[in-house]
Amino acid sequence: MKSTILVTGAAGFIGFHVVKKLLTVDNVNVIGLDNLNHYYDVRLKLERLNKLGINSYKIAMGMNTIESVNGNFKFIKIDLVNKKALDELFVDSAIDTVIHLAAQAGVRHSIENPSAYIDSNIVGFSNLLEEARKQKLKHFIFASSSSVYGLNKNIPFNTEDKVDYPISLYAATKKSNELIAHAYSHIHEIPVTGLRFFTVYGPWGRPDMAYFLFVKAILEGKPIRIFNNGLMARDFTYIDDIVEGIIRTIDLIPKELSNDVTNSKAKYKIYNIGNNAPVSLLKFVETIEQELNIKAKKEMCPMQPGDVAETFADSSNLIRDISFRPKTSLNFGIKEFVKWYRHFYNV
């Protein structure tokens, strides 16, 4: 019997890659949701959908529900704040698993546009959990973020660390997601898995991410901004490793959380997905320079509000439970991104 998996944010960077992978799996039907907002160039989102067999011309003509050419993927343009539309979708579809990847992304943008984050990341998230409650889903998987660690001083970041001090609204909404999901799991016995992603990069990525901006600026001969004067490090994690981690958690249904620390009966689990190998910002830029064979013009800048100096994932529980360790090297990942970028933008 085929299972039906709902992927939100299906036209986004990670959602696109997850759907692409799921479409290679036997006995799986995929429904993809996205509101195609204008946070960044919608044309990139439409091109991703084209790659998944969805005719983006039909979207431009106003169609909101489109079947892929091979018939095992349905795309629906929908905003998660639209509770009525979600109700109708879940009633009409035999969805057993949700992979929730839709969110208003961007730490810095959350400072300037807070309402967009409340609507998408909290209201939309809660609406989905309500559907999970009503339909008694097999598994609810959602994207959290390394940003929840905020001012945490423990290195590497462990899922047992307290995450009570977010320093951006984006991080606060992701922390809220984890709390709300735990409450729903505890009360309604919904199996829930949260995945804290660490600086995801790769082909078809988001244009607001540093690596995308760096490659674009260097190729155009423009300066790149190096924040905190380069005294930063990130646990860059290649998109294929993120997707593999997500796919492997689908059938890893959480058991009750109850232990010596908590009496929670929630079927709830949190994992980090990171490369376990932080790279300094200057080393990261150097890797891009080597791949492009162009020296970057660097503009040293102070730390930005909402940013942290270092991220470093302790993924030991992920490795233990799904026998998978993110392992893609930065050199390989940047090479693949640059190859895609040059081809996609014809530069």
Q: Hey, which residues are catalytic here?
A: 170
Paired with 200 in beta bridges are 237
Provide the token pair at 309: 């100096």
* Secondary structure (3-state) at 171: helix
Distances (CA, A) of 89 to 35, 75, 82, 170, 289: 15, 12, 11, 28, 47
Q: Are 133 and 188 in contact (CB under 8 A)?
A: yes
Q: Are 332 and 238 in contact (CB under 8 A)?
A: yes
Lay out the sheet containing 28-34: strands in order across: 65-67, 73-77, 28-34, 3-8, 97-100, 139-145, 192-197, 268-273
Q: Are 281 and 234 in contact (CB under 8 A)?
A: yes
